[in-house]
């Protein structure tokens, strides 16, 4: 698997992304101007989260969104803003499933949220480092729900 370079991380801030279903059904393709990122999702470990994420994918919600938060060695976050930094309207927040046993290891994908544990909507992040402090129970007693992993890109 290619490592995400510092330059690529900075470029992600400015690119639009598009998510689509890829075969088999447990894999998704994030199309960016810098190439594709294929993620494998884990509906058995995070059923509510995966259902929520797929709902946004199927509606085309992520088309034209950007990775708006990029922190070298930590994560890249997207799924909520357009290239003009307009925030997209989301569905209702979902229950945090961070107690599913999955860890915020390098190249895993997790749901972003506010300081309220059950506040995740559309935004997600890809860990570009091992971020065990985000694992359940985490510093806030809740952690951040991992629901997949980058397998290509």
Give which of 59, 121, 50 is closest to 92, Cα–Cα. 121
Q: State percent of the chain over pLDDT 90.
A: 76
The yes-or-no verdict on residue 17 having pLDDT over 50 is no
- DSSP structure class, residue 128: S
Tens digits of residue pLDDT in 89-109: 999 999 999 999 999 999 999
pLDDT band at 139 (very low <50, low <70, confident <90, very high): confident
Tokens of 60: 């085309």
Domains of the chain, by residue range, sit at: 6-152
- Other residues' Cβ atoms within 10 Å of the Cβ of residue 30: 24
With 0.85 as the threshold, say if the pTM is over it.
no
Q: Where are the alpha helices (DSSP H) in the chain?
A: 6-12, 47-59
- CATH number of 6-152, picked from 2.40.100.10, 3.40.470.10, 2.30.42.10, 1.10.150.120: 2.40.100.10
């Amino acid at each position: 698997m290619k490592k995400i370079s510092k330059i690529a991380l900075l470029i992600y801030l400015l690119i639009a992304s598009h998510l689509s279903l890829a075969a088999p059904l447990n894999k998704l393709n994030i199309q960016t101007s810098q190439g594709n990122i294929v993620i494998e999702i884990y509906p058995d470990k995070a059923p509510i989260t995966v259902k929520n994420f797929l709902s946004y994918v199927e509606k085309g919600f992520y088309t034209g969104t950007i990775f708006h938060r990029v922190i070298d060695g930590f994560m890249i976050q997207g799924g909520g803003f357009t290239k003009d930094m307009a925030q997209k309207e989301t569905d209702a927040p979902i229950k945090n499933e961070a107690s599913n046993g999955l860890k915020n290891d390098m190249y895993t994908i997790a749901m972003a949220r506010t300081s309220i544990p059950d506040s995740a909507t559309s935004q997600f992040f890809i860990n570009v480092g091992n971020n065990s402090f985000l694992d359940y129970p985490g510093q806030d007693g809740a952690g951040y729900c991992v629901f997949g992993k980058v397998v290509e890109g």
